Copies of this chain bind each other. A is one copy, B any other.
Amino acid sequence: MADKRYPGGMTLPAADWLRLDQQICFSLNAASRAFGGVYRVILKDLGLTYPQYLVMLVLWEHGELPVKKLGEHLRLDSGTLSPLLKRLEAAGLVRRERSARDERSVQVRLTEEGTALRERAVEVPRRIATATGFDLAELQDLRSRLERLTTALDGADLTETAGRD
């Protein structure tokens, strides 16, 4: 119980694992929130929150989409998207309408105003990138590591439940 074998072949005392774990999960969490803070300031001009901006990015790239597809792109479910989209609609940036072909589905499409907002958003990424202090290669590298991490976490087998064997 004191030491644990690990993929890299290295071992650490369990007490140190607690500290390391704290550092890693915390850094990720902190970086994510720091990012959110920077976006919050920069997006204020556009009247968007960070998650709303992500939705708009997807719509600018893919055009009209059903809520379901939007959720797949963003890894979000209708519980999060429904109220968010309602706010975007209230802001006049998107419209939601039931698909005629499949009445279960709701198509989300940009309004003229929503499409126009893209012009004002094109400068956001550069400002964000500058704020990170990272160069392009580093950002790309970080992105690929994070995607690998997310894939691993999503596919992780967590059945090794506490007490049982």
- Quick check: is A147 within 8 A (CB to CB) of the other chain? yes
Chain A interface size band reads 35 or more
Question: Which of B7, B17, B135 meets A122, CB within 8 Å?
Answer: B17
Whether A154 pairs with B32 at a CB distance below 8 angstroms is: no
Whether A150 pairs with B31 at a CB distance below 8 angstroms is: yes
Report the nearest B residue to A54, measured CB to CB: B26
Chain A contact residues: over half helix, strand or loop, or mixed? helix
- Quick check: is A127 within 8 A (CB to CB) of the other chain? yes
Which of A32, A138, A154 has the most chain B CB atoms closer than 10 A to its own CB? A32
B residues less than 8 Å from A65 (CB atoms): none
Given contacts A7-B130, A24-B139, 16 further A-B contacts (CB under 8 A): A7-B136, A18-B57, A18-B124, A21-B129, A22-B54, A22-B61, A24-B143, A25-B35, A29-B35, A32-B32, A45-B162, A120-B162, A127-B158, A132-B149, A133-B149, A134-B149
Task: Enumerate 10 A-B pairs (CB-CB under 8 Å) in ascending A order.
Answer: A7-B136, A18-B57, A18-B118, A24-B139, A28-B31, A34-B153, A35-B153, A38-B153, A131-B152, A134-B149
- A binding-site residues for B, Cβ under 8 Å: 1, 4, 6-10, 12, 14-15, 17-35, 37-39, 41-42, 45, 50, 54, 57-58, 60-61, 74-75, 118, 120-140, 142-143, 145-150, 152-154, 156-158, 160-163
